């Protein structure tokens, strides 16, 4: 069964989403890798929505839905802000020279790297974006 | 955030969770401490169980800054999931990383 939470798209909500994820982790037997990805997805994706999703001054929400069935963790993050497909984010600069290495741009990249699957959809009628992130247990 | 001076090395212990909340709690103090010290700062991450991109940004920004002053940030005690994040982002090529505090201090003092 999916556990859901809806929060306003503002900085105070990150702590609420993290508390929700802590509680979810306790109830379900997630592997260490699944726990890490759950936190990382909330942190990076929700942060992006707060920063870039909605026009400043306008009220918006973030919905988070989590479920774990047969060892497969499914994290769904929804918002009604600007459409944003993480697949279209260019790969970051992974330059190995400290002087030339650009600070930042790693959030979505790390989620893509750690997840088994990422699917994005935008409903033009309702304006909802949904990003679904999948992480399987290694032994499942 | 705990810090202590051992010889000419400033040792800073980072907290368990370096998510947005954790980073905002330590970012200012961390930056001030490493730039005031100017030399080598050993960042002990053995208690740290979670890092996200904001934490990587904090480390890289300060590393670049102290390098300009002739110093460096040196890391130790990365737990396996953190080491994995460092490998994936190639941060392992930007920092000197030691297995633990003893090894780091032996190499830099």
The pLDDT tens digits for A96-129 are 888 888 877 899 999 999 999 999 999 999 999 9
Does the pLDDT of residue A94 top 70, yes or no? yes
Q: Which residues of A39-49 are buried (b: 16+ CB within 10 A; e: fewer)?
A: bbbbbbbbbbb
pLDDT in tens, B23-53: 999 999 999 999 999 899 999 999 999 999 9
Closest approach of A126 to chain B, Cα-based (Å): 30
**Model ipTM value:** 0.90
Q: Do A110 and B85 touch (CB under 8 A)?
A: yes
Give the CATH number of domain A3-136: 3.30.565.10
Closest approach of A39 to chain B, Cα-based (Å): 8
Round to whole Å and give the CA distance between A108 and A123.
Answer: 21
pLDDT of residue B84: 96
On whether any CB of chain A is under 8 Å from the CB of B20, the answer is: yes
Q: Identify the H or E element spanning B12.
A: strand B9-13
pLDDT in tens, A52-92: 999 988 899 999 999 999 999 999 999 999 999 998 888 88
Domains and CATH numbers, chain B: 2-108 (3.30.750.24)
Closest approach of A96 to chain B, Cα-based (Å): 6
Given a contact cutoff of 8 angstroms between Cβ atoms, the answer to whether A132 and A76 are in contact is yes
Report residue A22 as tokens: 């802590």
Q: Do B19 and A33 touch (CB under 8 A)?
A: no
pLDDT of residue A100: 85
DSSP assignments along B27-85, one per residue: HHHHHHHHHHH-SEEEEE-TT--EE-HHHHHHHHHHHHHHHHTT-EEEEE---HHHHHH
DSSP-H helix ranges across chain A: 12-27, 32-41, 47-48, 107-114
pLDDT of residue B70: 93
Report residue B98 as tokens: 């030691």
**pLDDT beneath 50: ranges in chain B:** none
Which of A98, A113, A135 is the mutation pick for testing B, counting most B CBs within 10 A? A98
Q: How confident is the model at residue A140 (pLDDT cuts 50, 70, 90)?
A: low
Round to whole Å and give the CA distance between B21 and B8.
Answer: 31
């Amino acid at each position: 069964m999916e556990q859901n939470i809806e929060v306003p798209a503002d900085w105070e909500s990150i702590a609420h989403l993290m508390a929700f994820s802590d509680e979810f982790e306790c109830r379900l037997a997630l592997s260490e890798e699944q726990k890490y990805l759950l936190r990382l997805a909330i942190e990076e994706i929700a942060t992006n929505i707060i920063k870039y999703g909605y026009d400043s001054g306008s009220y918006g929400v973030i919905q988070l839905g989590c479920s774990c069935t047969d060892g497969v963790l499914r994290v769904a993050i929804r918002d009604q802000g600007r459409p944003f497909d993480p697949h279209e984010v260019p790969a970051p600069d992974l330059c190995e020279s400290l002087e030339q290495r650009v600070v930042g741009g790693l959030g979505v990249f790390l989620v893509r790297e750690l997840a088994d699957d990422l699917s994005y959809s935008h409903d033009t009628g309702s304006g909802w974006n949904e990003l679904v992130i999948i992480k399987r247990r290694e032994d499942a | 955030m705990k810090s202590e001076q051992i010889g000419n090395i400033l040792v800073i212990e980072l907290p368990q969770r370096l998510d947005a909340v954790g980073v905002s709690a330590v970012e200012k103090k961390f930056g001030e401490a490493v730039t005031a010290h100017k030399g080598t700062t050993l960042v002990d991450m053995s208690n740290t169980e979670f890092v996200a991109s904001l934490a990587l940004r904090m480390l890289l920004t300060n590393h670049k800054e102290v390098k300009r002053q002739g110093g460096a940030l040196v890391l130790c005690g990365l737990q396996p999931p953190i080491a994995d994040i460092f490998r994936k982002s190639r941060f392992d090529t930007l920092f000197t990383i030691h297995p633990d505090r003893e090894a780091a201090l032996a190499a830099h003092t």
